[in-house]
Amino acid sequence: MHAIVADQLTKVYRRGTGRSAGVTALNNLSLSVDQGEIFGFLGPNGAGKTTFIRILLSLVHSTSGSISLLETPLPNTQVRRRVGYLPENHRYPTYMTGKDVLRLFGRLTGMNSVLLKERIPELLRRVGMEQWQSMKVKRYSKGMLQRIGLAQALVNDPELIFLDEPTDGVDPVGRKEIRDILKELKGQGKTIFLNSHLLSEVELVCDRVAIIDKGSLLKVGTIGSLTEAGRHFIIGIEGILPEALRTEAAAMVMGISERHDGITIDASTSEELNRAIDLLRRHHVIITSVNQERSSLEDSFLNLLQKGGNA
């Protein structure tokens, strides 16, 4: 089951009466998100991320294309009862307490007071805000606001949760706690659509990510597929390479390079990798480790933007 399906979604913001007067925020974007996965949505400022989320939430309408949430074609107001949302720059009435905020948003989703009375204490414990539930929002730190915001997004026990920069301003311990909550929600079968500039956080928690730029989709894939730096392998060895091995490797046109902690091998297939390992063993080289070289998600992200998705 797909939690989100977008098909050739285009959004043009008009800035006048002329035919050419307009800005294309999304350009034939097609994307699907599976139920029960944590999906990262990445792109530079102005890439179209906010527009896409606003269309998903029926806050704006697309110029063309179609979209559905939880297998329900949009627009549909009823499906929003099954959705939770934490915007990036969320603001709550400063005279309210954290508990008041959850009660207000719970009632806005249609929850009755009896259910809310049970749900709110549970959520406050879950996000680590039980101690400050009676403190007014105006006294909250940025991290506390993020925590209460996450609780607000979960108040109606949604099936699909949109989170925009959920760990912004949160300390390392708090980020770890929020990651644990997201993994727990995934374990319950919920779908999380995560938008964040903290790519190290995305790398730790997301199953798949999509990268967009200038309204177009550049790439979709797992973290592993996006951070795989070709077929480069680092092999740890003891001692130095025998001269006879270097000569044989050159004759075999085998891409072996020495480095301070071992050697690197360029192998486009598993057969080539095993041939290189066999060569090392034949020359009695002691192998201590074999690891495929990977780049960080941030490196892959920047590389994709520079190459326009042709990486």
Residue 250 burial by Cβ neighbours in a 10 Å radius (0-12, 13-18, 19+): exposed
pLDDT in the model for residue 306? 73
What confidence tens digit (pLDDT) does each residue in 213-250 have? 889 998 898 877 777 655 678 888 888 888 888 788 77
Query: Could you tell me the sign of the dihedral formed by the alpha carbons of 38, 41, 42, 44, in that order?
Result: negative
Query: What pTM, to 2 d.p., does this model score?
Result: 0.77
pLDDT in the model for residue 119? 94
What confidence tens digit (pLDDT) does each residue in 107-116 have? 988 888 899 9
What confidence tens digit (pLDDT) does each residue in 21-62 have? 678 899 999 999 999 999 999 888 888 888 999 899 988 899
Q: Are strands 72-73 and 228-237 parallel, antiparallel or unpaired?
A: unpaired
Alpha carbons 188 and 12: distance in angstroms, whole number: 37
Contact 279, 273 (CB under 8 A): no
Q: Is the pLDDT of residue 297 over 80?
A: no
What distances in angstroms separate CA 6 from CA 22, 72, 73, 186, one per listed residue?
22, 12, 10, 22
Q: Is the pLDDT of residue 158 over 90?
A: yes
Contact 303, 229 (CB under 8 A): no
Which residues 6+ apart lie within 8 Å of 60 measured at CB? 11, 51, 54
Q: Is the pLDDT of residue 186 over 90?
A: yes
Q: Cis bond leading into 93, ω under 30°?
A: no
Alpha carbons 306 and 284: distance in angstroms, whole number: 43
211: its two tokens: 């990268």
Which residues 6+ apart lie within 8 Å of 261 measured at CB? 234, 236
Q: Are strands 22-34 and 160-164 parallel, antiparallel or unpaired?
A: unpaired
Q: Residue 210 pairs with which residues in a beta bridge?
A: 41, 220
Query: Could you tell me the sign of the dihedral formed by the alpha carbons of 261, 267, 270, 272, in that order?
Result: negative
Domains for the chain: give ranges and CATH numbers: 2-214 (3.40.50.300), 229-297 (3.30.70.1560)
